[in-house]
Amino acid sequence: MNCASSLFQTKNRMPTVSDIINALEAYAPLSLQESYDNAGLQVGEPEAKATAALLCLDVTEHSVDEAIERGCSMIISHHPLLFGGVRNVTSCNERGCIIIKALRAGISIYSAHTNLDRATHGVSMEIAAALGLNNVKILEPDDREPLVGLGAVGDIGPMPSFEFLRKVKEAFAVKCLRYSSSFSSLIVRKVAVCGGAGASLIRKAVDSGADAIVTGDVKYHDFTTWGSKILIADIGHFESELCTKKMFRHILAHSFPDFPTYLAEDEVNPINTL
């Protein structure tokens, strides 16, 4: 990522929202997002001054409150606030309340979603690094740009399946790990990963020769269809993408070393377990 121009342009002045966006999109261009997605600037003025940014997975009213408390003029999220059709912006619904509160506070909201997933060093590469995988490659590379795509697959030091599952649970602080139950004697040597909802890549993982796949949002019938062919470890959507906050911080620190960023502290998994 070439950030020299951004650093030169902002060396003697406070960066704008547009400057921050340019740094993020140099790493994860909007052109990489899936057709159904809505990444990009969600709320705010591109030329507004960027004083600091709150980094989060989901934008909520708590996120806006925390951004206000910390003096942030930006919220940067992985999941887009505006996804699908928006019929109105009023205080009668949560999304409307978020937008109104953000605008009143002068806070811009930007989201990097599937473009961050599909970037050369995207979300799945972060998951692979957290597991200590080696010889990592993109699991489903783009036909036209083989250095970008979804998922990742790599090698891991051979270990029994239950040792591997314990490693996964610890690496991502998972309270309740769902996994396919057909592999008690398996030795795991090759692992596929995908942040978020990655069940659609299970076939690719099997074809790649992976012994296991780590992802989220796996359905019952995904387990019955593929559970006898590969060890499936469902760590949850939230847990698999928490790394995006640190990714944002790293990207911005590279381009704007003095720009303050804060990891959202009030963010909690919307799914709980007993």
Q: Could you read off the pLDDT tens digit of each residue along the chain, which spans 274 residues? A: 444 444 445 556 799 999 999 999 999 999 999 999 999 999 999 999 999 999 999 999 999 999 999 999 999 999 999 998 788 899 888 999 999 999 999 999 999 999 999 999 999 999 999 999 999 999 999 999 999 999 999 999 999 999 999 999 999 999 999 999 887 789 999 999 999 999 999 999 999 999 999 999 999 999 999 999 999 999 999 999 999 999 999 999 999 999 999 999 989 999 998 8
Looking at residue 87, its pLDDT comes to 80
Distance (Å, whole) CA 66 – CA 20: 20
Measured on CA atoms in the order 82, 30, 44, 109, is the torsion positive or negative?
A: positive
Looking at residue 12, its pLDDT comes to 60
The pTM of this model reads: 0.93
Distance (Å, whole) CA 191 – CA 195: 13
Residues 80 and 104: beta-carbon distance below 8 Å: no
Looking at residue 1, its pLDDT comes to 43
Q: Report strand pairing: 149-160 vs 134-141.
A: antiparallel
Distance (Å, whole) CA 264 – CA 248: 12
Distance (Å, whole) CA 256 – CA 254: 6
Is residue 80 classed exposed, middle or buried when 0-12, 13-18 and 19+ CB atoms within 10 A define those classes? buried
Residues 66 and 98: beta-carbon distance below 8 Å: no
Looking at residue 271, its pLDDT comes to 92
Label residue 110 left, alpha or beta by phi (over 0 means left) and psi (-120 to 50 means alpha).
beta
Residues 185 and 161: beta-carbon distance below 8 Å: yes
Distance (Å, whole) CA 31 – CA 232: 31
Q: Report strand pairing: 231-234 vs 212-216.
A: parallel
Which amino acid type is present at position 145?
A: E
Task: Report residue 185: phi and psi, to 5°.
Answer: -105, 10
Distance (Å, whole) CA 67 – CA 105: 9
